[in-house]
Amino acid sequence: MKRQIPLIIIMTLGFMFVAHSFIPHKVSVDFFDWFQDWAKAISPFAVSLGIMSLFMVHGTKIKRKVPNWQYSVITLTGLVFTAFAGFVWGTQSGTPYMWLFENVQMPMSATMFALLAFYIASAAYKAFRARSAEATVLLIAAVIVMLGQVPLGAMISKWIPEASTWILNVPNLAAKRAIMIGVGLGITATSLKILLGIERTYLGGGD
Amino acid sequence: MFETISNFVAAFLTLSIFSFLYKDNPFYKFAEALLVGVSMGYAIPLVYENVFLPYVYTPIFLSHKFIIIIPAMLGALYMFRFSKNLGWLARYPIVFGMGIVGMSVPMSLHSSVLVQMRSAMLPINSINTALIFIGTVTILLYFFFSKAHKGIYGKVTNVGIWFMMIGFGASFGYTVMARVSLLIGRIQFLLGDWLGLIK
Amino acid sequence: MNKNVIQFFDKMQNIDRRYIYIVVALSIIIPLLIPFNSPTFVTKPTEDIYKKIDSFAGDETKAILMSFTHDASTMPELFPMEVSVLRHCFERDIKVFTICWLPAAAPLVDYALNTAREDFDVQSGVDYCNFGYKPYVLRLPIMLGMGDDIAKAVETDSQGRKVENLEIMKNIKNYDDMNLVVDFAASGSALQWVTYARARFGANIAAGVTAVMVADNYPYLQTGQLMGMFRGLKGAAEYEKLVDVFAAYESEDYPNGRPFSKEIIKETSVPITGDTVPYKYKKARIGMNAQSVAHIMMIVFILLGNIGYFITKKKEL
């Protein structure tokens, strides 16, 4: 019953939502309003999962004094201090909480992604080889699109931006459309599988 | 003065992350650990103020809409996720939220499949529309793995591969642009806001 | 082939990647330190968004919604777009709403609003309204709820005020009035707006995406499901130019900006060196200079790498 009841709930709700997609009657609208209110009330508790997980993982590392356990102390200190700052001094602009966000979190998360530019350059030099005809076509298309995006491409030849636009509007469109149709069918199939209780991985392990 | 110190802290942390390009080092490890902690800690008061207070506290305690106690208790069941014996209780809030997946069946079928199919059914009156049609069909055939890609079928799916290579080349070109843009942003910060070399 | 050339390319194939990183860094630092004027060619996907937003100018019964679904890591591409759209709205008296779905996006919305409104006499709740952060799990209910009643779906704004009581909501009830949604994201989240808001309620959807998502969103652009798209930093640069040339244009004949014209935008170039345009409104165009150099560098790397590969392969044969 520990798995059956959640499955019954999701099947019932799921089919009600399928019906709701097609029925404009007030009953259907009221059902959606009810669901909205309840979903809004449930949602804030989901963040507790993340907090618990973080404390469990890093707490264990500190307790067992694994290599580099000191960095776990930094993680947990950062978490506690930031949350504390938000609750005590507020979350408005100018507070310590926002200072931590603007000068600690924002620059670091942006920099993490910026590292990728270096890696892509290194990969372009060391790994992107025209080993086959298909790979050559891929590289040529990439070069044309890269040149088409910058003013220099238009200055070299007016055909470069036009070729870049053609690549995006014809072969890329065909490729992405076909992939999208496949993905759309996959989403529909997976949603149906969840609705019908065939797909149960979201229930987690155990009985 | 305060802004200078703030910029200095942000620049120090930025350069700590960049130091990983040379090699893994304590500065990078420190910055990475701090990022994880601060990111999580940042979400907590925000969720409390923007979600818990207006959608749970206010309806129950101020508007006296006591029925909301039921979903609040349902949400509290999330915390049993890591319990060995009572972990099954966490399934209830999960399935409640997932019930809306029922809407995605007709809607994703409409937007991702039917509209795309309708748009692909263009009158083949130019070489471009012919190419789009051929490309779409051959790639869809390529992804049908229940039939072996041999003989004529193999040749047809090979055409699909060529179209996909061009598509992926275009994606790569844009990916390079995206990654470089992110780096430009950071360097604009370091040179502009921190060192004041760009105004 | 000359033995020295083969040895040179052999060495180059095994070069330490840290030298490559130095070249990448320099190829971006130098163009940023020494800005130059380069042409910005405006393309149709960006033009269409500009024309649509501009069609709401001075109309009290129309508004746009800017949806922020990204965090600070993708700010370099998306932030200039957001500031340009806000600047356009403030210049042309267009009601604008903002909403975000990630905790990390909330201060970015404030930052964009504060950056854009510095130069304008606009009021929160009257000219613009920030709905604030709504959790991602509520995205679908709110997206669908706004099709019937925006005030009921959103309830409160970022300052805790009841949305239905705000002056900006006069004549704005649902997607019929808030007729354009511009979704700024680093993921395929525009698909959700297209699937739910457009398919069900006929809302116009435009996307501001990072360059990495552009190719994936092209089918939606071609079918008309997306009425326009900002394509990464280039899209931001194009919109900056459009706002400079039209919305921010002032003259005796046009005291509050001038209407869009294809001929004017083709012929006009806006210099980014000098102080004519404030730095915050030309960040994307300055960035595109560095982008140009970086792209050339990347192409040179690909070519050098492949030349070296073929030469060393020939040597082995």
DSSP B74-136: HHHGGGGGG-TTTGGGGHHHHHHHHTTHHHHHHHHIIIIIIHHHHHH-----SHHHHHHHHHH
pLDDT tens string, chain A, 207 residues long: the values are 788 888 898 999 999 999 988 888 889 888 888 888 898 899 888 888 889 889 999 999 999 999 999 999 999 999 999 999 999 998 877 899 989 988 999 899 889 989 999 999 999 898 888 888 999 999 999 999 999 888 888 888 888 988 998 998 899 999 988 988 988 888 888 888 988 888 888 777 666
Nearest to C281 by CA among C137, C103, C120: C120
Question: Which phi and psi angles does C124 have, rounded to 5°?
Answer: -70, 135
User: Does C296 reach chain B within 8 Å, measured CB to CB?
Assistant: no
* pLDDT (average), residues C290-299: 91
Whether residue B191 contacts residue B197, with contact meaning beta carbons closer than 8 Å, is answered with yes
pLDDT bucket at C2, cuts 50 / 70 / 90: confident
Does residue A148 fall inside a structural domain? yes
> Is A152 domain-assigned?
yes
Identity of the amino acid at C52: K
The pLDDT confidence band at residue C63, using thresholds 50, 70 and 90, is: very high
HSE, side-chain direction, 13 A CA sphere, residue A195: 21
Residue A133, domain member (yes or no): yes
Angle at A82 between CA A78 and CA A88, to 5 degrees: 145
User: Which residue in chain C has the smallest CA separation from B43?
Assistant: C103
Task: State residue A49's pLDDT score.
Answer: 86
Q: How far is C254 from chain A (nearest CA, A)?
A: 30
Closest residue in C to B53 (Cα–Cα): C160
d(CA C176, CA B121): 30
- Mean residue pLDDT of chain C comes to 90
DSSP character for C130?
E
Contact (CB<8Å) B181/C141: no
Residue of A42, A122, A173 lying closest to C218 (CB–CB): A173
Binary contact (B174, C155; C-beta < 8 A): no
- The DSSP 8-state label assigned to residue C156 in this structure reads B
- The predicted pLDDT at position C314 comes to 77
Domain limits for position A144: 128-198
Find chain B residues with C-beta within 8 A of A7's C-beta: 95
Q: What is the ipTM of this complex?
A: 0.81
Of A43, A110, A118, which has the smallest distance from its Cβ to C72's Cβ? A110
With contacts defined as CB-CB under 8 Å, which chain C residues touch B182? Answer: 73-74, 76-77
| H or E segment and range at residue B56 | none
Tokens of residue A150, six digits: 């910058």
| pLDDT band per the 50, 70, 90 thresholds, residue B50 | confident
Whether residue C121 has pLDDT greater than 80: yes
A25 occurs within a structural domain: no
- Which residue pairs from B31-36 have beta carbons closer than 8 angstroms and sit at least 24 positions apart in sequence? B31/A108, B32/A71, B33/A71, B33/A72, B33/A74, B33/A75, B33/A78, B34/A74, B34/A75, B34/A78, B34/A104, B34/A108, B35/A104, B35/A105, B35/A108, B35/A109, B35/A112, B36/A54, B36/A75, B36/A78
Q: Is pLDDT larger for residue C60 or for residue C270?
A: C60
> What is the spatial distance between Cα C52 and Cα C49, in angstroms, rounded to a whole number?
5
Identify the chains in contact with A, defined as 3+ C-beta pairs within 8 A.
B, C
8 Å CB contact between B99 and A15: no
Task: Select from C41, C2, C111 the least CA-distant residue to C269.
Answer: C41
pLDDT score, position A207: 66
pLDDT band with cut points at 50, 70 and 90 for residue C219: confident
For residue A21, tell me if it sits in a domain. no
A120 within domain boundaries: no
Contact C233 B197 (CB under 8 A): no
Report how many domains make up chain A.
Answer: 1
Collapsed DSSP state (helix, strand, coil) of residue C274:
coil
Q: In chain A, what residues touch C219 (CB-CB under 8 Å)?
A: 173, 176-177, 180
- Whether residue A102 is contained in a domain is answered as no
Give residues 99 to 138 of A whose Cβ lies within 8 Å of C.
Answer: 101-102, 105-107, 109-110, 112-113, 117-118, 120-122, 124-130
Measured CA to CA, the distance from residue C298 to residue C77 in angstroms comes to: 19
Write the residue in A143, A155, A172 that is nearest to C299 by C-beta: A143
Q: What tens digit of pLDDT does each residue of C24-49 get?
A: 999 999 999 888 888 888 999 999 99
Closest to A179 measured CA to CA, from B161, C193, B179: B161
Does residue A132 lie in a domain region?
yes
Q: Which of C212, C299, C300 to mutate to test the interface with B (most CBs of B within 10 A)?
A: C212
Residue C317 clears pLDDT 70, i.e. is over it = no
Name which of C143, C255, B193 is nearest A32 in CA terms: C143
pLDDT at position C246, please?
92
Inter-chain contact C218–A176, Cβ cutoff 8 Å?
A: yes
pLDDT for the residue numbered C168? 94
What single-letter DSSP state applies at residue C256?
Answer: T
Six-digit token string for C65:
């919604």
Nearest residue in B to C156, CA atom: B54
C-chain residues within 8 Å CB-CB of B14? none
Q: Round to the nearest angstrom and report the end-to-end CA distance of chain C.
A: 13
Compare all CA atoms of chain A with the CA of C234 and give the residue at the minimum distance: A149
Q: What is the mean pLDDT of residues B161-172?
A: 92
